[in-house]
Amino acid sequence: MEFVLSTDEKKFITENSNTTVTEFVLLGFSDVPHLQWMLFGIFLLIYLSILICNSIIMLITRTDPSLQTPMYFFLSNFSFVEICYVTVTIPRMLIDLYTQKGTIPLLSCAVQLCFVIMLGGMEFLLLTVMAYDRYVAICNPLHYPLVMNSKVCVQLVAACWICIIPVVTGQTYQIFSLPYCGSNKINHFFCDIPPLLKLACGDTFVNNLSIYVASVVFIMVPFLFIIVSYGKIICNILKLSSAGGRSKAFSTCSSHLIVVVLFYGTATITYAQPKAHQSETSGRLLSLFYTILIPLLNPIIYTLRNKDITVALRKLQAKLSIYGNA
């Protein structure tokens, strides 16, 4: 027997099956409830370490006269972006671990996503600018003070912000213009693009296409620029007759290269890999790597592999010990 639904019945079913989502639930680490408090302590310690280490880098690059150069100006800006980047995700995650509730309003989710993408994009652009700075310093040293003067440095940082803000705003608006119905559970510890698109009820082809285009523009193109820059840098370093000069040049570039590989490697896997080949668990682990572990490693990499910063840290320590004994 075939049942025919009336118009009112069809309308009722449609309205109840397409209930508009007004809030999401971040599942986070709910699959390991016995580790919630241990994770809270670990992530809190990591967050404080990131804040302290990057703040120290910002302090010494602004106060130490020997670090008043374009390279450390960009490093200071990079540390500032790192602090903002982790502050967008980790405090919210700590609250969810403490309360064991991951409810987040739709608007808050949109704001978090917007800042995560914006600050992440800024890091990629700043890494590119830092590569350009190293290129000019090593390949064109005579014109370096003229090419990379303070005005140009400020303009380069400002240009990065001007490029990224409208693109990210448009991406966020486009994603949250999609209809979200049914499940509101995000299998992640923050609002990120891949898990959000999985919950969308509408056609996400345009969104996925725009994400790939943005990934090419803000990840692949800068990465190619960095590769070309360092190709020329390495060629010029190898031409140096002094072994000490080659060693110093490599030491100033090696830390930046390590950070570039870490950032671009995880970002390419996360946003450029076809979603059919990426599980939710692997996506969450990769996100954990580039949102928490890499920001923790960056200050360590720049500190341990940079003699100028090491010397500046010793000066700061000496000053603090003098003030402490006074």
Range of the domain at 131: 23-173+182-304
Q: How many domains does the chain have?
A: 1
Q: Which residue has the tokens 């302290």?
A: 52
pLDDT of residue 194: 85
Q: Residue 325's pLDDT is what?
A: 67
Q: Which residues pair with 25 in a beta bridge?
A: 103, 185
- How many residues in total does the chain contain? 326
pLDDT of 203: 85
Q: Look up the CATH number of the domain holding residue 113.
A: 1.20.1070.10
Who wins on pLDDT, 80 or 269?
80
DSSP label at 21?
P
Least confident piece of the model among 139-143, 221-225, 284-288, 307-311: 284-288
Rounded Cα gap, residues 135 and 236, in angstroms: 10
Among 278, 277, 279, 229, residue whose Cα is nearest residue 256: 229
pLDDT level of residue 274 (50, 70, 90 thresholds): low
- Where does 100-204 have alpha helices with state H? 106-139, 144-147, 150-176, 193-199
Query: Mean pLDDT lowest for which of 61-65, 137-141, 214-218?
Result: 214-218
Least-confidence region, from 10-19, 106-115, 147-156, 223-232: 10-19
Question: Considering the domain boundaries, does residue 325 fall inside one?
Answer: no
In a domain, 45, yes or no: yes
d(CA 304, CA 313): 11
Q: How many CB atoms lie within 10 A of CB 278?
A: 15
pTM of the model: 0.87
pLDDT, residue 279, reads 60
Instruction: Identify the pLDDT of residue 5.
Output: 46
Mean pLDDT of the chain: 85
Residue 16 lies in a domain: no
Position 315 in a domain: no
Within a 13 Å sphere around the CA of 203, how many CA atoms are in the beta-carbon half? 3
Percentage of residues of the chain with pLDDT beyond 70: 88
Residues 44, 94 contacting (CB under 8 angstroms): yes
Helix (H) or strand (E) holding 23: strand 23-26
Place 299 in a pLDDT band, splitting at 50, 70 and 90: confident
What pLDDT score does 281 carry? 66
Higher pLDDT, 322 or 165: 165
Evaluate whether residue 322 is within a structural domain: no
Residue 266 belongs to some domain of the structure: yes
- One-letter amino acid at 86 equals V
Is residue 246, in this structure, part of any structural domain at all?
yes
Report the Cα 278 to chain-centroid distance in Å. Answer: 20
Q: Does residue 15 have a pLDDT over 50?
A: no
Percent over 90 (pLDDT), the chain: 44
pLDDT at 156 over 90: yes
Higher pLDDT, 225 or 277: 225
In a domain, 252, yes or no: yes
What was the pLDDT predicted at 273?
Answer: 57
With a cut of 80, say whether residue 18 has pLDDT above it.
no
Question: Which of these ranges, 77-91, 231-245, 261-275, has the smallest mean pLDDT?
Answer: 261-275
Spatial separation of the C-alpha atoms in residues 214 and 253, rounded to whole Å: 27
**62 vs 273 pLDDT, higher one:** 62
Band (pLDDT 50/70/90 cuts) for residue 147 is very high
Are the beta carbons of 305 and 252 closer than 8 angstroms?
no
Amino acid symbol at 74: F
